Amino acid sequence: MLTRWSELDRAFSVMDELQRRMNRLFDEVDSGRWAGSSFVGGAWPPVNLYDAGDDLVIRAMVPGLTEKELEITGNQEVLTLSGERKLEVPEGYSVHRQERGGVRFSRSFTFPCKVNLEKTKAAVKDGVLTITLPKAPEAKPRQITVKAE
Amino acid sequence: MSDKLEKYQDKTPEQVQERAYLAPRVDIYENESELLLLADVPGVSKQSLTVHLDKEQLLIEGHVEEPKVGALLGGEFQAVDYRRSFILPPGIDGGRITADLKQGVLSLRLPKAEGLKPRQIQVKAG
């Protein structure tokens, strides 16, 4: 399971890299810089995938973004997370330091098992997005009873 | 060697837990009346964030609680705590600093002391 996810993610990481380069173009116009991420990988937002039995769960670090500013779309087997974090200097302020940066992003994911994208739930709390994807019935763990003879 | 070490650690009554720290990224802005500091601290709740001022040293600490979601299949981030300190310039009114946490972004308003704000000086005609 683990390898499958990472292999697929690697394929997508190529797309991410392209996206990142595009982001960088925008950022260079916006802010002048977008320092490398302190997280593994470097794609934004950083994402973890969990197996929670009946569900797969994605958690993503999205500081500053609300539900409204995030777009989650499901298309067959692919889930896409996109949005934009705008870098705005508050009005009337001068800039001393800018490390947070603005970013326009779009990341796509496929999953190691079949999921029901229509029943996906998403919530943001303290700048962390949690997406819960129920597994398709055939992919859910099953208890097999062992009969004694 | 590592075997011995593990055995030793098993026997020690107090396990020292080491937490990793990450310096949150910040933006710092200034206007006539205050400095405004914004810091990205995703995963930190109001209860687990502390902003400490000791003389001119400002310390921001945030604890990240990793919820037990399930087995990790693939990961790009780890739950690490945040910690960063700044030396404030003279003339900040420490008593009036306010902090606000929204969507994992901390906003710290550091007002300038009244006497240091720019003032318009009236020129009187003699």
Residues of B with Cβ-Cβ distance to A43 under 8 angstroms: 76
Give buried/exposed letters for A86-123 (b at 16+ CB in 10 A, else e): ebeeeeebeeeebbbbbbbbbbbbebbeebebeebeee
**CATH value of A2-86+103-139 in 3.90.1580.10, 2.60.40.790, 3.40.640.10, 3.50.50.60:** 2.60.40.790
pLDDT band at B7 (very low <50, low <70, confident <90, very high): low
Sketch out chain B's domains with CATH numbers.
18-65+77-114 (2.60.40.790)
Above 60 in pLDDT, residue A142? yes
Interface test with chain A among B26, B27, B86, by most A beta carbons within 10 Å: B27
Tell which wins on pLDDT, A110 or A23. Answer: A110
Over residues A60-79, mean pLDDT:
90
Which of A33-37, A44-48, B6-10 has maximum average pLDDT? A44-48
Residue A87: its pLDDT value, please?
A: 85
Above 60 in pLDDT, residue B53? yes
Nearest to A97 among B28, B42, B101 (CB): B28
Residues of A with Cβ-Cβ distance to B41 under 8 angstroms: 63, 127
Distance, in Å, from the CA atom of A130 to the CA atom of A122, rounded to the nearest integer, reads 6
Query: What stretches of chain B show up as alpha helix (H) in DSSP?
Result: 2-11
Q: Burial of A19 by CB count in 10 Å (0-12 exposed, 13-18 middle, 19+ buried)?
A: buried
| Per-residue pLDDT tens over the stretch B70-83 | 999 888 888 889 99
* Region for B95 from its dihedrals, namely left if φ exceeds 0, alpha if ψ lies in -120 to 50, beta otherwise: alpha
Distance, in Å, from the CA atom of B29 to the CA atom of B109, rounded to the nearest integer, reads 10
* CB contact (8 A) between residue B73 and residue A112: yes
Residues of B with Cβ-Cβ distance to A48 under 8 angstroms: 72, 74-77
